Structure 1
Amino acid sequence: MIFSFGEKVKRLHNELEQFMVEQVYPAEAIYEQQLNEQATRWSDVPPVMEELKAKARQRGLWNLFLPDSELGGGLTNLEYAPLCEWMGRSIIGPEVFNCNAPDTGNMEVLERYGTEEQKKRWLEPLLKGEIRSCFSMTEPDVASSDATNIEASIIRDGAEYVINGRKWWSSGAGDPRCKIAIVMGKTNPDAPRHEQQSMILVPLHTKGVKIERMLPVFGYDHAPHGHGELTFTDVRVPASNILLGEGKGFAIAQGRLGPGRIHHCMRLIGAAERALEILCKRVRDREAFGKRLAEQGVIGEWIAESRVEIEQARLLTLKAAYMMDTVGNKEAKAEIAMIKIVAPSMALKVIDRAIQALGGAGVSGDYPLAAHWANARTLRLADGPDEVHKAQLAKLELRKYSERGREITNV
């Protein structure tokens, strides 16, 4: 494996790094100020975000996440990795470049599995950054880490489907620009376990769709994006809104979550890099007990450990991206599981050290560390908790040693 990049990627990397430092970092405080000046934090999008998006699009820093497609940046997963990492240095960064979750995953689903009609109605405005979307899979009443537990129903009734169920952690649902939800539910409870589920497109303005509440994360509401708890009560949509066909929901979910997981890991590496940068700058300038913090032995250990852990996570992420590009997501499932286990925990450790070094400033809103820590902690759960990935990884490893090819299933 050779992790080298061509001139196009190097150019994009330099331009994106410059844009982040000159445009995005200074806009972070402005974004929060404009958000707080609104009638409610959910009523509109801070104007600075749309200004940044226009500038990014003008410079060609747009839709870089979508590989092997004329609709996106045309980059491989490996080529996208260093760019996504830089976006992840800022909480608002990914949206500036139209590379934010869950829209990236939803756009990939529509691009891969959508009909021409579905693409025209929903994918095109998403790619233009004109609307937002949410992904409604997780449910409060079942252990949703096992997607086959999903209980929401999607029942065919003539030329329509009727949806009933309760979802939560539908990220993006609170955004005033959110117009479409991809909803996962059961179309046939009697089918084989992994063929019971389907995915369907549900416009959020449809009768029977209700946002019950927005869910904070460690006190952060993430407005105007947010994470919604939604109810679907006798919601009717055309049968043409089904994605790929009945019984394909689990397969679509697996295809969607692979790229989504690696994108999260790329962004987490960026968050960890920024945390280490903040730590190093801070300890060089402040003194305690007669010497600079940088000269305190424990601080040096934190810096060294952080650099090692970031590099390890980055190399593992690049390997997973390389595997996805060369042998496909299915064959790279072990590598994807590994990075999803490693990256969030690594970011939490690095960010926590930075918070500790900054003291009271670290937990304040004056620095992005607390927000990044809260985001990283959620990613030990989102797109599958650590324990699920570890169980899958152990099973794959043990399978190498099974007798006569017999699969080991009880892990």
Structure 2
Amino acid sequence: MTLKASKSTWRADKLSSLGSSIFQEVAGWKNEAAAAGKDIIDLGIGSPDWGPAIEIRRALSESVLKEDGYSYPSSEGGLAFRRKASDWMRHRFGVEIDPETELLTLMGSQDGLAHLALAVCNPGDTAIVPDPGYPIYSGALAIAGVTPWLLPLKAENGFLPDLEAIPEDVLERASFILLNFPGNPVSVRADEAFFGELIELARKWNLLVVHDLAYSEMGFDGYRPISILQVPGARETAVEFHSFSKSFNMAGCRIGFLAGNRDAVGALRTLKGNIDYGVFEPVQEAAIAALDQAMGPDAGEGVGPLYERRRDAFIGALRDEDWDVPKPAATMFVWAPLPGGAAAAGIDSRRFARELLLETGVAVIPGDAFGAEGRGFVRIALVQDAERLAEAARRIGRFLRAKGLAE
């Protein structure tokens, strides 16, 4: 009998490709800084610091008291939630979505992003993903055995992808192209003309377009993010992820949905039906309440103006400290190029973020956590109140002057 070679660890090789380990590193730096007595201002992870509206919390609390709410939920989500999400798509974007065949409930949009490639690709396929991009975009491909082709987002192009620069042999073999507008970490606007070009490209090369619209309610300066499904014919070749985490401050509830092309939605529905039992019914009830409020006469201003005010105050405070950072057009993130003297001083994104945290207690994420094109940037999350953001800016200013990096 031939014995298997001994294993030093029970760990799949693919886990090394799931994403950058920098988030764990930053957590370690925070612990190190806290142990040294630093007051931590965490501008790293994009987790909303506010809770959902009281009406949403009330719907959740009332639902959890119902005795019949604790059986297995449907893996595709209750029809009541899917119908309400379909109503919201019509209200918000003017898009008609069949709630039974073109919409799938998810345990947060990341749940769907992590599993979509498993559902629509075969091992060895290729998918086009942005660089810099949210880590799960490439991580999901590693899980599915799909090869990523990295589409660079460059400052000189306004961080919009150059679709014409994608080689034809890549388009020929790719199963899907994934983009997000406004994005994470780069909050770029895309208009209907760009989406139209993207849909035409997809039709020509038989590509599925995957659009991540997690920040649909966080546009600034009069800008309201649009859905790719607004483009005529987009449902024939596109799907779109939506999330309640940022739009309604429900990050811990874990609910979102996928809408669009029924074949792709159906493929993910089939996969998810074999993996889990879906979203807890009271959470779906809370999400229905959130959508009702958003479509009602007392909808209010939503979350966008809060982050716009934070953006303006924080960017202004940084400029007062001699760091001129571009204003994001949307989202809860600032994508900040390192001060001009950083490269000459041998300070890269990771060193900048580490030393900033250890010396000042302000946590940001190095740009290379999001891909090679993120080198020379840091991502800053606007997830603290105005007073703490102002204090963070003052500490950053002292750090820049101490390092000789003030512009």
TM-score of the pair, normalised by structure 2: 0.25
Q: Is the helix fraction higher in 1 or 2?
A: 1
Larger RCO (CA under 8 A, 6+ residues apart): 2
